[in-house]
Structure 1
Amino acid sequence: MTTIDPDSKARELQEVLHQDIPLTRDMGMQVISWQNHQLRLHLPLAQNINHKSTLFGGSLYCGAVLAGWGWLYLRLKEAGIDDGHIVIQEGQISYPLPVKRDGVAICEAPDDATWERFVKMYQRRGRARLSLNTRIVAKDSEESAVEFVGQYVLHR
């Protein structure tokens, strides 16, 4: 089994986001880590502040979507699948708390059975859907300020 350096994968994703989705540069978005199939993105308050001195809702939505997109991008790379295009098909978000300082978007892995069904469907049909959950917390907190469920589609 090949060992994958999580730091190199985080750096690779950072480059892809800033190159292919220029908005992420303007937002100051940074990939914090990719470990144990968990992706963490940094959303700085300074570049995403609103009139209430909290993180702007649109930036939070973008961070949540991109945490899921980035999670799927990295997981597919690990699985050796590199012939598909990832798109967000649908998203549902709630904002239970304001984010008054830098935010961290966290996307966790779905259960193994869900992942395996997704991969098999893609291999069989060239198209598959996967729901991913992202939450955003204020830096140095674990309390969810934003909860997001995104439906992502991978197609050839």
Structure 2
Amino acid sequence: MLKELEDKLHLEIPLTKYMQLKIDKMDETSFYTSAPLLPNINDKGTGFAGSLGTLVTISAWGLCYLKAKELGFDNCMIAIIKSDISYRAPVTKDMICQTLIPSKEQLHLLENKLKEKKSGSIKIESKIIQDDKICVEFKGVYVIKIL
């Protein structure tokens, strides 16, 4: 399913292909994506804020997509409705994004909303960490609607 998501992003959101965004892995607590620094560099030789913001936003969107599919909702629309990004430190290496998987309780609430109302929202957090330091912190609210 991870390769399917990466292909979908590259096809439907061309910027992700230009950024060379990769879907790396998912474990019990986190979903990981990455992008190399070179195609996402700014005039200071660090990660371009637009690329950093895109990586955390798309990673959270991707997690919503995967979780909706896991819950059995294949035909849905996912959109961000609110976000907050903090750029805490420059990124000087390839960008690695960790997106936290919501709790079982949060996912259960989302599943119930989708079944009952065909629409629901969920909060997702992502961060870009380099050398054990949080460089970018993201919190977003995504709405999922069953089509």
The verdict on a shared fold, with TM-score over 0.5 as the criterion, is yes
1:38–1:71 Cα contact (<8 Å) kept: no
Distance in 2 (CA, whole Å) between partners of 1:27 and 1:56 is: 11
Aligned-pair Cα RMSD in Å: 1.1
1:70-89 map, 5 Å: 70-89=62-81
Q: For structure 1, which segment, 43-52 or 73-82, has the greater mean C-alpha deviation from structure 2 after superposition? A: 73-82
% identical aligned pairs? 30
Aligned length: 146
Partner letter of residue 64 of structure 1? V
1:5-154 map, 5 Å: 9-36=1-28, 38-138=30-130, 141-154=131-144
1:54–1:99 Cα contact (<8 Å) kept: yes
Q: Report the alpha carbon displacement of residue 130 of structure 1 after superposing the two structures with TM.
A: 0.5
Distance in 1 (CA, whole Å) between partners of 2:45 and 2:62 is: 27
Displacement over 3 Å in runs of 4+: none
Post-superposition CA distance 1:106-127 (Å, at most 9, x none)? 1111111111111101111111
Distance in 1 (CA, whole Å) between partners of 2:11 and 2:3 is: 12
1:128–1:155 Cα contact (<8 Å) kept: yes
TM superposition score normalised by structure 2: 0.94
Partner letter of residue 89 of structure 2? L
TM superposition score normalised by structure 1: 0.89
Give the structure with the higher percent strand: 2
Q: Report the alpha carbon displacement of residue 142 of structure 1 after superposing the two structures with TM.
A: 3.3
Q: Report the alpha carbon displacement of residue 79 of structure 1 after superposing the two structures with TM.
A: 1.6
Q: Residue 153 of structure 1: SS of its match in structure 2?
A: strand
Q: Residue 110 of structure 1: SS of its match in structure 2?
A: coil
Q: Report the alpha carbon displacement of residue 37 of structure 1 after superposing the two structures with TM.
A: 5.0
Distance in 2 (CA, whole Å) between partners of 1:128 and 1:153 is: 6
* Structure 2 unaligned residues grouped into runs of 5+: none
* Structure 1 unaligned residues grouped into runs of 5+: 1-8
